Amino acid sequence: MGRLFAIEIIYRGIFQKTLATRMSRAIVLAAHHEGKMGISFGRYGDSPERNGIPAKNFAIVATDEQTLQDGMAKYEPKEVDITICVDDTLCKGVESWAWYGLQPVNRLLKPGGTLIVTSREGPEAIIAMAHRKESPYQLSILKGTVSFSGLWVYKDDHTDVRILGAIAKILPDLFSLQSVQKAIVSEWKDELKATSAAKSYERTTSITVQPNQGNPETPYKFDLPKWHEMGEGIAIPSIPAGRNMEDPVSHAHGGFQPDRNPTFKKFSTRTMRPVVNFDTCIKCTLCWLQCPDSCFDVTPEGLYDANMQACCGCGVCEAVCPVKECVTMVNETEFSDNSSQWEDWRKDKDAYKTWLEDKIKSHPERSHGFRYRGQYEEQIPEMLEIAREK
């Protein structure tokens, strides 16, 4: 019986599709330089994928054909040696297309396996986001701004080769640094990338995460109905009409809160979320109108509260709001719950104001793909600076 290796890459659909595919392919090609064989494929993505919705890409490698086939018999590997998470907000859990409920980011990781995360956060913040695992695992953080691209454009910030270098350090039995450099040069014809991989190899470290560390919540899940329990004619109940909202202080009723999808909570589809300044809002209704997913609940006094059960963090609300800093998109790592901002504001306006100002200051701002000319040029030096830090 030969040896089987499995690596999964958890990424944001579309924005990181090319990043995931490039790494997955390079893993197979690097291992192939050492005589191993492998396959690379995606899961939980659509074709094309959906913006920001978590997806996975797998690289399965084996020392011989038969072991590879054994590994391929189950489409998604039972367990992986390494989980690569290229958006740190995905550490909160993965709720992807075609998976029901919330899947912990470390679910497939073998005991003692390594979770590699690209982030500017430190280990405490990352560990706090990830669910507890019954066995210890390793955490390795690749310091840097999370890398997002567009569908047709690739942000070539060396995230891919840095991760490949890290893999060589963490799992030398899979491939050596030399092999991955060979794969990098033959695929991308760029010696500088090979150097980046080597630098990352030098710098890669990891710490052990114990079973008592992490988010203690039980991830929500759903049981699927049996064939005879389902309605016929491929007809399903729609989301019923909503209701008015209740003010937490005055208990006045009014406004309108749509009901939400009971089985797709969208909590993990966000890499950023809007924070609203209810004091400066002029009730122009543009955020509510333009939100592609009808996320905004209308409060009794006619303000607009972004409901975190529906928000996938697209940023349109911020773009259309005419008032400066009334709606601001903030990095999802800044939040650890999905509570209603309006209710918090109603209960204590001063505390909310402080919280809001802190959130706005504490970006780093997220952006998907290329939102304006010159953005790439702005972000590269930032990345290089981080790369040069110890």
Q: Which is nearer to another protein, 8 or 332 (CB)?
A: 8
To the nearest 10 degrees (0 to 180), the angle between helices 177-188 and 17-32 is: 120
How many residues are there in the chain?
390
* C-alpha triplet 141, 144, 149: angle, nearest 5°: 115
| 4-12 and 54-62 strand pairing | antiparallel
73 binds another protein (CB under 8 A): yes
- Please identify, among the stretches 150-158, 225-233, 261-269, 346-354, the one whose residues bind another protein according to the rule CB under 8 A: 225-233
For another protein, how many residues bind (rule: CB under 8 A)? 26
CA 168/CA 96 separation, integer angstroms: 29
Burial of 351: CB neighbours in 10 Å, binned 0-12, 13-18, 19+ = exposed
Exposed, middle or buried: residue 344 (CB in 10 Å: 0-12, 13-18, 19+)?
middle
- Residue 101 CB, nearest distance to another protein (Å)? 16
Beta carbon of residue 69, minimum distance to another protein (angstroms, whole number): 6
Minimum Å gap between C-beta 190 and another protein is 14
Letters for 30-69 (x = contact with another protein by CB under 8 A, - = none) are --x----xxxxxx---xx------------------x--x
**Cβ count near 10 (within 10 Å):** 26
d(CA 133, CA 346): 37
Q: Which of 216, 234, 372, 389 touches another protein by CB under 8 A?
A: 234
Q: Does residue number 226 form part of the binding site for another protein (CB under 8 A)? A: yes
Q: Which of residues 75-104 bind another protein (CB under 8 A)?
A: 75
Shortest Cβ 14–another protein spacing (Å): 15
d(CA 25, CA 5): 14
Q: How far is the CB of 25 from another protein (least distance, A)?
A: 6
Task: Closer to another protein by CB, 42 or 300: give it.
Answer: 42
Residues 104, 43, 307: CA angle, nearest 5 degrees = 55
Residue 228 is a binding residue for another protein (CB under 8 A): yes
> Site residues for another protein, window 182-201 (CB under 8 A)?
none
Q: Which residues bind another protein (CB under 8 A)?
A: 24-25, 28-29, 32, 37-42, 46-47, 66, 69-70, 72-75, 224-228, 234
